[in-house]
Structure 1
Amino acid sequence: MTYQALTMLAAGIGIPVLAALNARLGANVGAPAAAAVVLFAIALAVAGVAVAITGPAAILRVAGQPWHLFLAGVLIAFYVLSVTYIAPSFGVGNAVFFVLLGQILSAAAIDHFGLFGARAVPLSPLRAGGLIVMAAGLAVTQLAGRG
């Protein structure tokens, strides 16, 4: 496995951990939005250190970028706020499983059409079958959780 694959595996492991931790923080303080603000403040500090280490001059080029690229910030805020509000009552597993289904569908569309400058990877029948198997696996986890 390459370091890229291992890094993405670690990031994937982190998503449900993030959801569980922030949902608990939101429940503990009685304000999921406050928990999200704390999460983003810490994330900003960590990202700031990474920029300082890897190349602070790049931050100056951000201002000239197309406005639609900044929608990623809206999407991450939506994810964090929604999982922080919903996971305590819906369950972290349920929340993350549906997030995974959304990721599978959107990743397939982004790859197939080469959206947002991504490398185009056509949706072959074999790849579509793999996506269906993954979605079916998520469905099975949902059905098994009801038993």
Structure 2
Amino acid sequence: MNAAALPLALAVIAGIFIAIQAPTNAILGKASGSPVVAAFISFVVGTLALGTMVAASSGRLFAPELKGVPWYAWVGGLYGAFFVAMAAFAAPRIGVATMLTAAIGGQILAALMLDHFGLLGLARQPVSVERIAGAVLVLIGAVLVRRG
């Protein structure tokens, strides 16, 4: 089996879950009157699920090595919280497909910069004409999905 097969399959499954997460959080947001409350509920459930996985595995929640990570490694949850609240707000207004294609466009633009400059400890992968063209096509796709 190809070394990339499992990560690619997991990424596809995660993408499916993200598409499903937006409307389910929109339901919570509508019922509670707040996309932030919906995001909070989502993160509480996610925290419980991850806590169970840490408890059931050999994960070291209080590993001494965690003391040495840079400050920006600790704020990753803020990005997820923003995304979940934004999705609960945006999905019922513009649709899941438009919201996700726009979000994916933003992800690709940021990923190109992260890769190109080797930011946050990543290996450098220079921007190429093909990579830029792919990002532009995704952004065009977001516009087409919205118009359709």
| Structure-2 residue corresponding to 1:98 | 102
2:97 touches 2:145 (CA, 8 Å); kept in 1?
A: no
| Structure-1 residue corresponding to 2:142 | 138
* CA positional deviation for 1:38: 1.2
What is the total number of aligned residue pairs between the two structures?
144
In 2, the alpha carbon distance for the partners of 1:57 and 1:84 equals: 32
Task: Report the aligned-residue RMSD.
Answer: 1.8
In 2, the alpha carbon distance for the partners of 1:18 and 1:59 equals: 30
Structure 1 unpaired stretches of 5+: none
Match of 2:56, as an amino acid?
Answer: I
Change (3 A) 1:37 1:66: same
The equivalent position to 1:49 in structure 2, one of 52, 71, 83, is: 52
In 1, the alpha carbon distance for the partners of 2:72 and 2:13 equals: 28
Q: With the length of structure 1 as denominator, give the TM-score of the two structures.
A: 0.86
Change (3 A) 1:118 1:88: same
In 1, the alpha carbon distance for the partners of 2:56 and 2:115 equals: 31
* CA positional deviation for 1:60: 2.7
Identity percentage over the alignment?
31
* CA positional deviation for 1:128: 1.8
Match of 1:10, as an amino acid?
Answer: I
Say yes or no: does 1:16 pair with 2:19.
yes
3-state SS of 1:121 partner: coil
1:27 touches 1:88 (CA, 8 Å); kept in 2?
A: no
Structure 2 unpaired stretches of 5+: none
Deviations 1:31-85 (A, max 9, x none): 3222211111110011112222332325333344221111211111111112212
After superposing on structure 2, the runs of 4+ consecutive aligned residues of structure 1 that deviate more than 4 Å are none
1:104 touches 1:131 (CA, 8 Å); kept in 2?
A: yes
Deviations 1:92-147 (A, max 9, x none): 22222211111111111111111111122111112222222222222221222xxx
Structure with more helix by fraction: 1
1:1-147 superposed matches below 5 A: 2-61=5-64, 62-144=66-148
